[in-house]
Amino acid sequence: MADYTEMWKSLGIDVENHNALLAGLGQAYTDIFLSQKNRPEGMKYFDFVVSEVHGLRIKEIMDAKAQGKKVIGSYCVFVPEELVLAVDGVAVGLCAGAELGFEAAEELLPRNTCSLIKSMFGFKLGKLCPYVESCDVIVGENTCDGKKKAYEIFRPLVKDLYVMDLPQTKSDAGRLMLKEEYRKFIAKLEQETGKKITVQSLKKAIETVNAKRKAMIRLAALRAADPAPISGLDALLINQVFFHDDPARFTDSVNKLCDELETRVKEHKGVMPKGTTRIIVSGCPMAVPNWKLPMLIETSNAVIVGEESCVGERGTRWLTEIKGNTVEELLDAITDRYFNVDCAVFTPNPSRVNHVKEMAKNLHADGVLHYSLQFCQPYIIESGPVEKELENSHIPTLRLETDYSQEDAGQLKTRIEAFNERLKKK
């Protein structure tokens, strides 16, 4: 790897802490990902991306900035990448998945805050994340109460925080509100970049993002095969890289991987033997490098065949219909697309559990593991009804609540193994 120290310094990264972070990440990656058997060749690209995640990709972003492009960071799948691309901006997902800088974060936030929010603060306060530091604008979104109040405290810590409001119900009023918020967001983007969104630029952006999502939908469908052609860990990684890689290159790499997986499926080749217990993970998003739970599952004689998560199908399964000949009409199409997202912050939120059921059927899953981050009220509270509904539909379900620490790994492993023993009985 090239020496990026100067680049990091120029971004204001705490180089010493950052080196420790990269070393830890590299070790975890070797232990968890590179040790897997029968990995597809196509994963080499993603291994490369991870090895250069704070290097080459940041350099590309810096080069884009030098050409006058603006970098827009976001923490949630409700922030439309299409709009950022339409002003020729660079969109990066910032969700952080590591227990870093938590002491500093806990000086500003209650301890009983979900790890995702603490991590968002920890990465910023610890000056650890070159993505955060490279952003010209960071978009916050008023989803759960935790996030929306946290953004109030976050604002003075960053250069430019733009907060977007979000509806809580799937109603006409809610849809209207979302569209208005997106309209305001366009104004902000145009002001920031000095560029106007045109029908042409927006159509092109929609096509780019659609292509990226289509590749993910293709990948998701291939996992219905038994034996599973790719591990859940690898698929999760791809879902995580989805948020910060160059869109066109990413799409290309996923499609290439899918070509390979298609051959595998035809030849009945897989990462684990045919008949391995098949699990769907449903719930809170899993930001990099939060790999604890998938790792525990896949080292317990089971394979993950789908993620019902924002870092998973909830973030990728809908495309934007390209219809209309005005920016206004295209904005309608974008709003329609995003309004589908069935985050637990919506009330009521029946489409989410219906989708889990559908996934279980299509992917021939044996059971669902419901994952909530500790202190995440929307997902933890929803997990009760979700479990009930799934069990009533004869889909065995295990609810787990955890955070980014490793201290409960033993307990989690016992629960996961016991769940697998239950599934094998059938």
Residue numbers at the binding site for ligand SF4 (CB under 6 A):
76-78, 114, 116-117, 143-144, 146-147, 284-285, 310, 341, 343, 345, 373, 376, 378-379
Q: Which of residues 130 and 283 has its CB atom nearest to ligand SF4 in the complex?
A: 283
**Residue 355 is a binding residue for other proteins (CB under 8 A):** no
* Angle 377-382-385 from CA coordinates, rounded to 5°: 150
Write down the least CB distance from residue 367 to other proteins, Å: 12
Determine whether 207 is exposed, middle or buried from the number of CB atoms within 10 Å of its CB (0-12, 13-18, 19+). Answer: middle
Q: Can you tell me the distance from the alpha carbon of 385 to that of 346, in angstroms, rounded to the nearest whole number? A: 14
Check: CB of residue 319 under 8 Å from CB of residue 213.
Answer: yes
From other proteins, ligand SF4, none, interface partner of 116 (C-beta below 5 to 8 A by class):
ligand SF4
**Residue 111 is a binding residue for other proteins (CB under 8 A):** no
**Residue 30 is a binding residue for other proteins (CB under 8 A):** no
Q: Which of residues 253 and 290 has its CB atom nearest to ligand SF4 in the complex?
A: 290
Angle in degrees, 0-180, between the axes of helices 350-362 and 377-392, rounded to the nearest 10: 50
State the amino acid at position 107 in one-letter form: E
Q: Which of residues 93 and 227 has its CB atom nearest to ligand SF4 in the complex?
A: 93
Asked whether the bond before 289 is cis by omega within 30 degrees of 0, the reply is yes
State the amino acid at position 255 in one-letter form: N
- Tokens in use for 180? 């208005």
Q: Can you tell me the distance from the alpha carbon of 95 to that of 289, in angstroms, rounded to the nearest whole number? A: 10
- The binding track of 357-396 with respect to other proteins, each residue x by CB under 8 A or -, is ----------------------------------x-----
- Tokens in use for 108? 């500003």
Write down the least CB distance from residue 403 to other proteins, Å: 10
Q: Can you tell me the distance from the alpha carbon of 166 to that of 335, in angstroms, rounded to the nearest whole number? A: 12
From ligand SF4, other proteins, none, interface partner of 144 (C-beta below 5 to 8 A by class):
ligand SF4
Which residues partner with 401 through β-bridges? Answer: 372
Q: Which of residues 160 and 391 has its CB atom nearest to other proteins in the complex?
A: 391
From ligand SF4, other proteins, none, interface partner of 373 (C-beta below 5 to 8 A by class):
ligand SF4
Write down the least CB distance from residue 271 to other proteins, Å: 22
From other proteins, ligand SF4, none, interface partner of 147 (C-beta below 5 to 8 A by class):
ligand SF4
Q: Can you tell me the distance from the alpha carbon of 387 to that of 334, in angstroms, rounded to the nearest whole number? A: 32
**Residue 422 is a binding residue for other proteins (CB under 8 A):** yes
From ligand SF4, other proteins, none, interface partner of 341 (C-beta below 5 to 8 A by class):
ligand SF4
| Count of residues touching other proteins (by CB under 8 A) | 13
Query: Pairing between strand 302-308 and 277-283?
Result: parallel
DSSP character at residue 57: H
From other proteins, ligand SF4, none, interface partner of 418 (C-beta below 5 to 8 A by class):
other proteins
Q: Which of residues 300 and 372 has its CB atom nearest to ligand SF4 in the complex?
A: 372
- Tokens in use for 172? 């006409």
- The binding track of 391-420 with respect to other proteins, each residue x by CB under 8 A or -, is x---------x-----xx-xx--xx-xx--
Write down the least CB distance from residue 417 to other proteins, Å: 5
Q: For tokens 């232990």, name the residue.
A: 31
Write down the least CB distance from residue 79 to ligand SF4, Å: 9
Q: Which residues contact 362 (CB under 8 A, 6 or more apart)?
A: 221, 224
Write down the least CB distance from residue 309 to ligand SF4, Å: 8
Which residues partner with 225 through β-bridges? Answer: none
Indicate the helix (H) or strand (E) that contains 92.
strand 90-93
Write down the least CB distance from residue 329 to ligand SF4, Å: 25
38 in the Ramachandran plot: left (φ > 0), alpha (ψ -120 to 50) or beta? left
**Residue 421 is a binding residue for other proteins (CB under 8 A):** yes
- Listing DSSP states for 308-364 in one string gives ESTTTHHHHS-------SSHHHHHHHHHHHHHT---TTSSS-HHHHHHHHHHHHHTT
Write down the least CB distance from residue 211 to other proteins, Å: 43
Write down the least CB distance from residue 280 to other proteins, Å: 18
Q: Which of residues 81 and 366 has its CB atom nearest to ligand SF4 in the complex?
A: 81
Check: CB of residue 385 under 8 Å from CB of residue 353.
Answer: yes
Write down the least CB distance from residue 239 to ligand SF4, Å: 12
From ligand SF4, other proteins, none, interface partner of 83 (C-beta below 5 to 8 A by class):
none
Check: CB of residue 112 under 8 Å from CB of residue 54.
Answer: no
Residues within the interface to other proteins (CB under 8 A)? 391, 401, 407-408, 410-411, 414-415, 417-418, 421-422, 425
